[in-house]
Structure 1
Amino acid sequence: MATRAKERAVASGWANWSGSVVATEADIRRPRDEEELARIVAQATTVRATGAGHSFMPLCASDDVIVSLADMQGSMTVAADRGTVRVPAGWSLKYLTAALWDEGLALANQGDVNPQSLAGSMATGTHGTGRDLGSLSTFARGFRLVLADGRIMWCDDTENADLYQAQRLSLGLFGIATEIEVAVVPAFHLVERIEKKPWAEVRESFDALVDTHAHVEFWFFPHADQVILKTLDHTDACDPPPSSTDMEETAFRRFLNVGHLAPFMVPTLQRLMMRTPMKGRRRGPAHSIFPSDRTLRFEEMEYEMPRAVGLDTLHEVIERIRRRRLPVSFPFEFRVVAEDDIWMSPMNAGPVASISMHQYNRMPWRGLFADAEAVFRAHGGRPHWAKRHTLKREDVDMLYPKAEQYRAVRRSVDPEGRFLNDHLGALFA
C-alpha cells in the first residue's frame, strides 16, 4: 500500500531522476516566454526552477511553485569571433551540443550524461574529467536573469560583477536564468577506449595516464580487484558511433536485481562480473562520445578531494567496504577536474580528484554514504552540491571563505528569500 501511494505521488507531482526527492504539493509551471516567467516569479511566495531533475539533493524541492523552462526554447546566437554563444538557459546539454555541432562548435568538455539543462549543470558545478578542464560553470561568460521581483537583469564580469561571480555556481539562489553566454571551441572528434586493468596498476600509473590522455577516468567495483579504465583522446574526423553508450547494461541490471534480493551476494557477484570481457572502442563527434545512456537508477554522493590525496582516499573507503562486506552494488567513479576561481565551487582551492559513490536506488544507501562521507571529510573533501551530502551551515562557512559574501549577494537581489527552500535556507539564508 505504501509503495503504491508513493508511486501515485510521484506521478501527480514532481520527483527527481532517482525518485528520492518528491514534491507532492508543488504547483508545476511551464512558462512559454520570459514575460510569463517573470510574472510567475513575481507572484509566487517561493519558487524553484528545475531542469531534468538530476540533483540528488533537494535543490528543486518546493511546496509552492516549481518552474520548468522546457517550453522556452528560443534560439542560439553565435558571437562574431565564434568564441562564445548565447543560448536559452533551459536547453538540455543534448540539444545544445547538437546545435553547436551544426555550427562547427562544441563545448570543451562534458560529463558522462547529457539530459541535464545547461542552467542546472552550471548552477551545480557539473563536470567531466580532464587535467586542464574545469566544470561547466567555468564556461559561463554572462547570464540574463529573472530576479525575485520579476525584473530582468544581465550580469557578467563587468556588469553587475558580484552577481555574476555568485551566479556562476548559483544553486538557483539569485534568479532564474533565461539566457546564458557560454564559451565554446571549434568542433572536434574523440576516440574512446575502455579496458579492464588491475587496481594496483592503475593506482600506480594514474598520474601518468592523466598526463598522457585528454580525458581519463575509471570505475571501481569495491569488491573486485580490477577497474574499468576509460580514456578519451582527440582524433581525426569520423562518423557518429553506432552505439550511444560506452557499456551495455543488461548483464549489470541482472546482477543488481539479484543483489537487491540477496545483498550478501554483492561481493561475489562483483567478482564474477569483472571476469567477463570488457574492452571497447568508439569514435565520433565529441558530443556523441562524451555522454552515454544511463538507464539504471541510483543514488549518488560525490566528493571533490584535493588531487594529491584522491587515490589514497579512495583506497581507504574501498578497504572499509571490503572489511565489512558492505553491499555497495555500483562502482565508484574516479575523475580529475582543474582548479577554478568560482566562489562556491569545490574546485576553487586547487585541482581535485572527484570520487563518486553510487548505490542502486532499490537498496539502502544512507548509512553507506554516511560512513564514506566521514572519510572524505577527514581528508579535506568538499561535496558536489547536487550529490548527497550532510553539510551544515557551519561546514559551509569553514569550507568556503566567500560563503558570507555569497549570502550577501543573495540577500541583495532576493531579500524576501523567494528562491529559498528548506534545504537551501538552512545553508544560505
Structure 2
Amino acid sequence: MSWANWSGSVRAGATVRRPRDEGELAAIVRTARTVRATGAGHSFMPLCETDDTIVSLEDMAGAMTVAPDRRTAQIPAGWSIKRLTAALWEEGLALANQGDVNPQSLAGAMATGTHGTGRELGNLSSFARGFRLIGADGEATWCDATTNPALFEAQRLSLGLFGIATEIACEVVPAFHLVERIEKRPWAEIRERYHAMAAELRHVEFWFFPHADSVILKTLATTDPCDPPLSTRDMEEATFRRLLNIGALIPLLVPTLQRVMMRSAMKGRRYGPAHAIFPSDRTIPFEEMEYEMPVAAGLGALEEVVGWIRRKRLPVSFPFEFRIVAPDDIWMSPMNAGPVAAISMHQYAKMPWRALFAEAEAIFRAHGGRPHWAKRHTLSRADVDALYPMAERYRAVRREADPAGRFLNGHLAELFS
C-alpha cells in the first residue's frame, strides 16, 4: 500500500499500518526497521517518507478526558483537530487558537509547530502540557515539565523523532464564538496600517496576489453566542480554480488573471462557534513554503519578494499569506526568539514551484527568516545549527531516546542524526 501527502508531491512505497491500540502499535515499532507516523499528510516536506513502515493512528481506540480544573484535556494524539474541537465544544471548551484548516492530527500539528494568527497567541505546540509516547523499544513513557523534562522539551516540537505520541495533555480554554470579516483593501493602506491593526485585533491576516494592488483582509473577533455558520468556506473556490487552470496552461496570463480576479467585490461575514470559524475548506492542491521572521522585518520581506515577482512577471499563481504569531520557548520552534511575521508562499500543484521557492527562500533568509518545518525549505545541518542554539541538545535527547535511529528517515537524518 503506497502513501502520498496531501499535495501529491511526497510519495512513499512503505507499508501503511493502522494499529487499533497501544499493544498493536508497540509491536509494529519493535519489528520495524524504520517507522514514521502520519496524520492527514499536510506536511509538504518528506517528514513521513520511508521505504519501511508508516503508522496512522486514525483507528486507535481512545477517549478525551477533561481535567477537574478544566484547563487541560487528555486527548488521543491521532484525533484530527476537527474531531478534537467538536468534542471540546460539547464540553464547553475550545482551543485558544487554530490554523485555517483542521484535518491534521493533533500530534502532527504539534510536531511541526502548526499555528494560526494572533500577536498574543502561540502555535499549537505551545499548548502541549504532556505526552504519552511509544518509544523505540516499544515501551510507553510519559513526559511533561517535571517527569522526563528534557524529553518533554524536545517533544514539544518533535518532528516525530522521539517516539509515537498516543495521548497528549493539551491546554484548553472556555468555549467562545467568533465573527469573521473578509474584505478587499488597497495594499498601500494595509502596508501602512497592518501593525496597528494587529495590536488592536485578536486576529488579522491578509492574502496578497503578487500581480495585484489590493489584498484580501481577514479579521476574527470574539462575539456573542450564535448558531453555526451556513458555510464552511471563507471564500468561493470555483472561479479561482478555473483561473488557475487557465494560468497553468498559459503561464504568461497569470499576472493579468490575478488583476482581473481582484477587480471583483470581495466582502463576506460569518459568525459561529470558534471551531467552526477558524478553519475553512481548502480543496485546491498547492505546494507551500512558509518562513517566520522578526515582526519588524515581515512587511519589508513581503514587499521585496513581491517586487521580484513583478519585475520578472513570474507565474506565481496563488496569493501570499501574511500573519503574526506570538513567541514561545520551544527548542526548535521558529517562534522561540520573539513574535514573528509568518509569510506563506504557495504555488498551484499543477505548476512548477522548486526554482521559484529557491529564489524566494534566499530573500526570506536574508531577512532573518526560519522556515516552518512542514513547509518547503532547503535547510542544511549547518543552517539548523546556526538558526537554533538548542539544536545539539535536541539531537542529544534524540540519540538517547532512539539510539538505533528507528524514527529517522533520510531527510531528518541529514539534519538531526
TM range (shorter): over 0.9
Among candidates 385, 404, 429, match of residue 392 of structure 2? 404
Q: TM-score, normalised by structure 2?
A: 1.00
Classify the secondary structure of the residue corresponding to 1:194.
Answer: strand
Deviations 1:175-207 (A, max 9, x none): 000000000000000000000000010010001
Show the counterpart of 2:136: 148
Classify the secondary structure of the residue corresponding to 1:17.
Answer: coil
Among candidates 165, 181, 184, match of residue 169 of structure 2? 181
Partner Cα separation in structure 2 for residue 33 and residue 248 of structure 1: 40
Contact 1:49/1:68 (<8 A) preserved: yes
Letter in structure 2 aligned against 1:409: V
Q: How does 1:298-377 map to 2 (within 5 A)?
A: 298-377=286-365
Residue 193 of structure 1 pairs with residue 199 of structure 2: no
Partner Cα separation in structure 1 for residue 369 and residue 299 of structure 2: 12
Q: 1:73: Cα distance to partner?
A: 3.8
Partner Cα separation in structure 2 for residue 73 and residue 327 of structure 1: 46
Show the counterpart of 2:6: 17
Partner Cα separation in structure 2 for residue 153 and residue 355 of structure 1: 36
Partner Cα separation in structure 1 for residue 379 and residue 266 of structure 2: 37
Partner Cα separation in structure 2 for residue 345 and residue 73 of structure 1: 30
Q: How does 1:120-139 map to 2 (within 5 A)?
A: 120-139=108-127
Partner Cα separation in structure 2 for residue 149 and residue 199 of structure 1: 54
Partner Cα separation in structure 2 for residue 112 and residue 384 of structure 1: 15
Show the counterpart of 1:248: 236
Show the counterpart of 1:119: 107
Show the counterpart of 1:233: 221
Partner Cα separation in structure 2 for residue 43 and residue 251 of structure 1: 49
Show the counterpart of 1:8: none
Partner Cα separation in structure 2 for residue 207 and residue 362 of structure 1: 35
Residue 267 of structure 1 pairs with residue 255 of structure 2: yes
Q: Percent identity?
A: 75
Contact 1:132/1:337 (<8 A) preserved: yes
Question: Where does structure 1 lack aligned partners over 5 or more consecutive residues?
Answer: 1-11
Classify the secondary structure of the residue corresponding to 1:180.
Answer: strand
Letter in structure 2 aligned against 1:411: R
Show the counterpart of 1:379: 367
Letter in structure 1 aligned against 2:26: A
Q: 1:213: Cα distance to partner?
A: 1.1
Partner Cα separation in structure 1 for residue 147 and residue 303 of structure 2: 46
Residue 258 of structure 1 pairs with residue 246 of structure 2: yes
Count how many residue pairs are aligned between Structure 1 and Structure 2. 417
Classify the secondary structure of the residue corresponding to 1:401.
Answer: coil
Letter in structure 1 aligned against 2:11: V
Among candidates 15, 21, 28, match of residue 40 of structure 1? 28
Contact 1:78/1:84 (<8 A) preserved: yes
Partner Cα separation in structure 2 for residue 370 and residue 62 of structure 1: 25
Q: TM-score, normalised by structure 1?
A: 0.97
RMSD over equivalenced CA pairs, Å: 0.4
Partner Cα separation in structure 1 for residue 258 and residue 236 of structure 2: 16
Contact 1:157/1:165 (<8 A) preserved: yes
Deviations 1:373-399 (A, max 9, x none): 000001110000000000000000000
Letter in structure 1 aligned against 2:271: R
Contact 1:73/1:91 (<8 A) preserved: no
Show the counterpart of 2:57: 69
Show the counterpart of 1:95: 83
Partner Cα separation in structure 2 for residue 210 and residue 224 of structure 1: 23
Which is worse superposed, 68-77 or 105-114? Answer: 68-77
Residue 59 of structure 1 pairs with residue 47 of structure 2: yes
Q: 1:208: Cα distance to partner?
A: 1.0
Q: How does 1:262-301 map to 2 (within 5 A)?
A: 262-301=250-289
Which is worse superposed, 255-264 or 72-81? Answer: 72-81
Classify the secondary structure of the residue corresponding to 1:90.
Answer: coil
Partner Cα separation in structure 2 for residue 169 and residue 345 of structure 1: 7
